[in-house]
Structure 1
Amino acid sequence: MIDVTLQNFENEVINASKSVPVLVDFWATWCGPCKVIGPLLEKLEAQYAGRFKLVKIDSDQEQQLAAAFGIRSIPTCILLMDGQPVDGFMGALPEGKIKEFLDKHLPPAEEEEEELLEQEAPADAGSQLERLEQAVAADPANDDARFEYVKALLLADRIDDAKVAFAPVIGKVAAVRRFDSLQRWLDALDAAAAGAAALSDLDARIAADRRDFDARHRKAQLLMARGQWTQAMDELLEILMRDKAWNEELARRTYIAILDIIEPPRPKVAEGQIPPDDPTVATYRRRLSSVVLS
């Protein structure tokens, strides 16, 4: 546990959260519930053995930091990942509830990760493509199957085959969001194949004018074509933070397209249960919401 002030906040919280999730506990010396939850958080930090870092901020002494996070009552805990707040809770929650909160966001322990890898070995790409092709042939109107089939073809770098499979539903692009997402991916691949501006040239334009949104969007497209999804979304967020409505919300629409593309198919779960969110998709959805709603 580390006491954080304005002077060490950048290093101990922002920079640290780029390598390990950081849980910030806002507290005060006069706060009774803070004295209850504080020891629990320290106990859990030890139990989780490096899966997250706990820091404490005295909201009375560090009012600028408390105001920056919009703290209205204490104790309040905020979880940061990759330099951004992703979730939080207020009040002295019981240990079980805090564990539920942490487990929802933190990567699994190494032994758990190994077990998951053993239990969820990915299906052979060839057999998966064959299965999806059969599903589309059996039911050409199955939009979900067609989306997954075209997506799998693109991931296999079979772009021409993907365009053939996509052709029957091009007329649905305006009405079916995931087909619109595929179209944006295809557009990005076409732009890259046509010899669009080099990444270094786009970076130079952005360095000269941080509001060169056309250069930022072109860079995001190039990153999409390379499969660098999170980097593309980071670039689109830079546009959204400056102008949410730019070019008829083109940045937001492209960002949503990437989320559709990278989200894995939901696994089957028992009735009444909710399948877990992909952590990368969940994180970038929250970032989009925080920017769009701000």
Structure 2
Amino acid sequence: MIDVTIENFEAEVIQASMTQPVLVDFWATWCGPCKVIGPILEKLETAYEGRFKLVKIDSDAEQQLASAFGIRSIPTVILLMNGQPVDGFMGALPEGKIREFLDKHIPPAEDMPEEEIEPELDAADAGPEAQLEKLQHAVATDPSNDEARFGYVKALLLAGRTDDAKVAFAPVIAKTSLVRGFDSLQKWMNALDAAYGKDTAEFDARIAANKRDFDARYARAQVLMAQQHWTDAMDELLEILMRDKSWSDDLARKTYIAVLDIIEPPKPKVAEGQIPPDDPVVATYRRRLSSVVLS
């Protein structure tokens, strides 16, 4: 059993789950049921003789990780395989039920597959699933590769795999103030959370009644971001900027830039000495931002 923090999460959970199922126990010192289930999980880790790895995360001490997994009550136990959460349960289940849970995913000892060498993906294969797999592999191979992690989390979000994206993003949450791309991804995930179950129509009447209702305009932009209507979202943010450039500590401009970061495609390879062309949509909206901010 290993205690996991934000610092060792990538190595002890994500990377480890590429070769062995990892069972994550979210607990807290004040939690009575946690003290019941903890020894059971440790007993089963020994009984299963290395067929899964048990780690524990103190949800009070590691609130960023608990938030990334959407933990709402403890104990919560989540099983990860190949870098992704595959199943979980809440509450102090009896040992028999936990064995049933594990046996659904972990093969018997005699059926454990031999280690396979993962085939290298053809770089020419540009399919979304192939690209996602390549990015996942790149992050697992080099967790400090910020460019690969940005691409991986972005690809997961584009695919609608928000929970998986939050797990992949958790190890770099503390870097959002240092790496602009991570801050942009955080704003996108914030928009997804804020826009859940909402539609732009509920903000239209407020905006029609008061064009300076910036809270409504920003909420509408977040819904559009969640729907991946990127240019519409930037148009709404521009409406705020044209009326108040510094509203809410420059939030509209910062979010606009985040959208530009998200939609900008990777630069194509060009001959040495040449400058790759800008994406026309990104270039147009950069000019629109400049004209508003500098006016």
TM-score (norm 1): 0.57
CA contact (8 A) 2:157 2:165 kept: yes
Instruction: Specify the alignment match of 1:192 in structure 2.
Output: 195
In structure 1, distance between residues paired with 2:141 and 2:276: 27
The letter for the 1-side match of 2:290 is S
Deviation string for 1:42-82 (max 9, x for gaps)? xxxxxxxxxxxxxxxxxxxxxxxxxxxxxxxxxxxxxxxxx
With normalisation by structure 2, the TM-score equals 0.57
**How far 1:192 sits from its partner (Å)?**
1.9
Q: Are the equivalent residues in 1 in contact too, given 2:139–2:149 (CA < 8 A)?
A: yes
Deviation >6 Å, runs of 4+:
none
Matches within 5 A, 1:197-236: 198-236=199-237
Deviation digits for residues 84-129 of structure 1 (CA, Å, limit 9, x no counterpart)? xxxxxxxxxxxxxxxxxxxxxxxxxxxxxxxxxxxxx981111000
* Distance in 2 of aligned mates of 1:136 and 1:265: 17
Q: Contact 2:195 / 2:219 at 8 angstroms: preserved in 1?
A: no
What is the deviation of 1:212?
A: 0.4
Report the residue type matching 1:146 in the other structure: R
Question: 1:139 offset after TM fit, Å?
Answer: 1.0
Query: Aligned partner of 2:176: which letter?
Result: V
Structure 2: how far apart are the matches of 1:270 and 1:221? Answer: 39
Cα distance in 1, alignment partners of residues 131 and 223 from structure 2: 27
* CA distance in 2 between partners of 1:264 and 1:244 (Å): 27
What corresponds to 2:127 in structure 1?
Answer: 124
User: In structure 1, what is the Cα distance between the partners aligned to 2:125 and 2:245?
Assistant: 38
Where structure 2 has 5 or more consecutive residues not aligned to the other structure, the ranges are: 1-123
Alpha-carbon RMSD across the aligned residues, in angstroms, is: 1.2
- Whole-angstrom distance in 1 between the partners of 2:271 and 2:142: 26
Residue aligning to 2:180:
177
**Percent sequence identity over aligned pairs:** 73
Aligned to 1:167: 170
Runs of 5+ consecutive residues of structure 1 not aligned to the other structure: 1-120
Measure how far apart 1:290 and its partner are: 0.4
Cα distance in 2 for partners of 1:122, 1:230 equals 29
> Which residue matches 2:285?
284
- Looking at structure 1, the residues matched to 161 and 255 of structure 2 have their Cα atoms a distance apart, in angstroms, of 22
Kindly provide the amino acid, as one letter, of the partner of residue 149 in structure 2: R
- Provide, for residues 128-174 of structure 1, a one-character-per-residue CA deviation record: whole Å limited to 9, x for no partner: 00111111111111111100000001011111110111000000001
Q: Which residue is equivalent to 2:117? A: none
Aligned residues: 172
Q: Whole-Å Cα distance in 1 between the matches of residues 287 and 241 of structure 2?
A: 14
Distance in 2, matches of 1:221 and 1:273, equals 37
Alignment of 1:67-86 (within 5 A): none
Aligned to 2:158: 155
For 2:203, give the aligned amino acid: L
